[in-house]
Amino acid sequence: MYAIVDIETTGGKYNEEGMTEIAIYKYDGHEIVDQFISLINPEREIQPFVVNLTGISSSMLTNAPKFYEVAKRIVEITDGCIIVAHNAKFDYRILTTEFKRLEYTYERKTLCTVELAKNLIPGKDSYSLGKLVRALGIPLSDRHRASGDAQATLKLFKLLLAKDTQKTIIQEKIRTAPKFQIEPRLKEIIEEVPSETGVYYMHKKNGDIIYIGKSKNIKKRVNQHFTGTTAKSKKMQLLVTAVTYEKTGSELVALLKECEEVKRKKPIFNRALRRTIFTHALYSFHDDNGYINLKIDKADGRKQAITTFSNRQSAKSFMFKMVENHKLCQKLTGLYPTNSNCFNYTIKECNGACLLEEEADSYNERVHKVLEKYKYDNQNMVIIDKGRDVDERSAILIENGVFKGLGFYNLNYQINNMDILESIITPMENNRDAQHIIHSYLRRNKRLKVIQLQNHQP
């Protein structure tokens, strides 16, 4: 079974593109048995050259589903299929990147019609989809739109299937996730670590730690290190003689432990995490008309941030969601620079704060909801997450807006005040990176249990 796929994107930096349209035709070798075609709201800007190329603009995608809303359908329609695309490496990378953002591992075998055509129809001047299908007399409509390109790819694939009379070339060209031979000593190490969430430590012969990592599946992550082909992976494979680990159950606990341990032990292969792990932050200020403005800017330790982000793109994606969810003004959130009204005002998604039509008090009330939701200054609270066992939970303590530490407790044990909590909490450093990790985790995990603690005197 095959899934003929074509994807259009926003363009932009490698692995930071967003999907704008997808077309999938499920093909059993004889006929189309299912299909899925949809515009996708990428929650990020579309590069101008892409708009000119595809004709897909941001206004067309305002009411389109976001990727997470169609992800299940994509998984289902491609289940048990080989992904077929013209330059399959690109389309498959976009798919896996989008699923990775949802923390889901998407794996399918792939076939590239560019590679197949070069083998089965050699000597062509160009193997771009447009020029190739025209040379072969295959009709192509809606060029650079997902459905049109996918239909042309399907017709090309049918021709290639017919030309592969021995049914061997296509079989040889099927790509799968590469499998590597692992040294016996590394296999033994992998067998000793669990498929659970936690922090792991790679040691060299004298016991020194050379790398610290965290994963929701330690065994799978260590296996990736030992099968990696980058220069860093190969050096680690040569040096590592043992891997120890600490189960945490909670990804948040693992992130906080990893961050603190890397800064404390400074392993030679953890250069990236030694630096600050966020670059941008969300700030607020009142303008001359009394409206609260929100602004994304480079992180500045001298200013009080509402929340922080790993990069500008994730900050803008967050802001787009806030504007949509709370009906905020694009102009007053820095998403639509203008001297008049914002775009959302024209489509009645903004109440007119940009033109002073909405009262400042009314608008600010909605902004305050955002501010209160995503900052924990002066709050006393505990974040409850998974524990290392089914009858255990983890607790991350915030006291007067300061991260104090974390611990684990049995479900039969009631935690309802600060004194009880402090008895089970292991103190940890409250730095900007720890605050960023907590803010980011709270944003991504909407159903996380948070208990507000009362009646505590600092």
Please indicate, yes or no, if residue 179 is contained in any of the structural domains.
no
Residues 318 and 327: their CA atoms lie apart, in Å, by 14
CA nearest 393: which of 258, 248, 255? Answer: 248
Nearest to 453 by CA among 429, 425, 426, 431: 425
Instruction: Write the single-letter amino acid at 148.
Output: G
φ/ψ of residue 394, rounded to 5: -100, 155
Classify residue 359 by its DSSP letter: -
**Strands 109-112, 209-215: parallel, antiparallel or unpaired by DSSP?**
unpaired
The pLDDT of residue 446 is 75
Determine the distance from the C-alpha atom of residue 268 to the mean position of all C-alpha atoms in its chain, rounded to a whole number: 27
Residue 5 has a CB neighbour count (10 Å cut-off) of 29
Residue 236, CA distances (Å) to 108, 118, 187, 414 in order: 28, 38, 14, 44
pLDDT average, residue stretch 34-58 = 90
Quote the number of domains for the chain: 4
Mean pLDDT within 373-400: 85
| Statement to judge: residues 98 and 189 lie in one domain | no
Q: Are residues 387 and 407 in the same domain?
A: yes
Percentage of residues in the chain having pLDDT higher than 70? 92
Residues 141 and 232 in one domain: no
Q: What are phi and psi of 123, to 5 degrees?
A: 85, 5
Strands 209-215 vs 280-286: parallel, antiparallel or unpaired: unpaired
* Cα first-last separation, the chain: 64
How far apart, in whole angstroms, are the C-alpha atoms of residue 315 and residue 280? 7
For residues 319-341, average pLDDT: 91
Residues 16 and 107 in one domain: yes
Could you give the maximum distance between any two Cα atoms of the chain, in Å? 81
438 shares its domain with 361: no
Q: What is the mean pLDDT of residues 305-327?
A: 87
Q: What letter would DSSP give residue 275?
A: S
Q: Do both 138 and 52 map to the same domain?
A: yes
The verdict on residue 93 lying in a domain is: yes
User: Is 197 in the same domain as 312?
Assistant: no
Domain annotation covers residue 259 = yes
| Confidence bin at 281 (pLDDT 50/70/90) | confident
Same domain (yes/no): 335, 440: no
Contact 16, 51 (CB under 8 A): no
In this structure, the number of other CB atoms found within 10 A of the CB of residue 207 comes to: 9
Q: What is the pLDDT of residue 82?
A: 92
Of the residues 274, 302, 324, which one is the last residue of a structural domain?
274
Domain CATH for 265: 3.40.1440.10
102 and 123 share one domain: yes
Of the three residues 374, 395, 420, the one that is the final residue of a domain is 374
Secondary structure (H, E, C), 102-150: CCCCCCCEEEEHHHHHHHHCCCCCCCCHHHHHHHCCCCCCCCCCHHHHH
pLDDT bracket for residue 300 (50, 70, 90): confident
Domain final residue, candidates 357, 374, 391: 374
Predicted TM-score of the model (pTM): 0.55
- Token readout for 311 is 């990069």
- Position 160 pLDDT exceeds 60: yes
Annotate 389-420 with three-state secondary structure: CCCEEEEEEEECCEEEEEEEEECCCCCCCHHH
DSSP assignment, residue 210?
Answer: E
Do 105 and 194 lie in one domain? The reply is no
Parent domain of 212: 184-274
* CB-based contacts of 167, cutoff 8 Å, min separation 6: none
Query: Can you tell me whether residue 8 is helix, strand or coil?
Result: strand
Residue type (1 letter), 361: D
Q: Which of 323, 299, 321 is nearest to 311 (CA)?
A: 299
290 or 380: which leads in pLDDT: 290
Q: Which tokens sit at 284?
A: 């607020």
Say yes or no: 194 and 244 in one domain. Answer: yes
Residue 458: the pLDDT is 44
Dihedrals φ, ψ of 453, to 5°? -100, 140
457 in any annotated domain: no
| Pairwise CA distance, residues 100 & 106, whole Å | 8
Q: Is residue 178 part of a domain?
A: no
- Mean pLDDT score of the chain, rounded to an integer? 87
- Pairing relationship of beta strands 280-286 and 307-309 according to DSSP bridges: antiparallel
Alpha helices (H) along 266-394? 271-274, 312-326, 343-346, 360-374
C-alpha to C-alpha distance for 186 and 413, rounded to whole angstroms: 41
Give me 147's structure tokens. 């459905």
Q: Please check whether residues 58 and 139 belong to one and the same domain.
A: yes
Residue 458, in any domain of the structure:
no
Convert the pLDDT of each residue in 86-124 to its tens digit.
999 999 999 999 998 888 889 999 989 998 999 888 888
Burial class from Cβ neighbours inside 10 Å (0-12, 13-18, 19+) for residue 9 reads buried
State the CATH number of the domain containing residue 153.
3.30.420.10
How long is the chain?
458
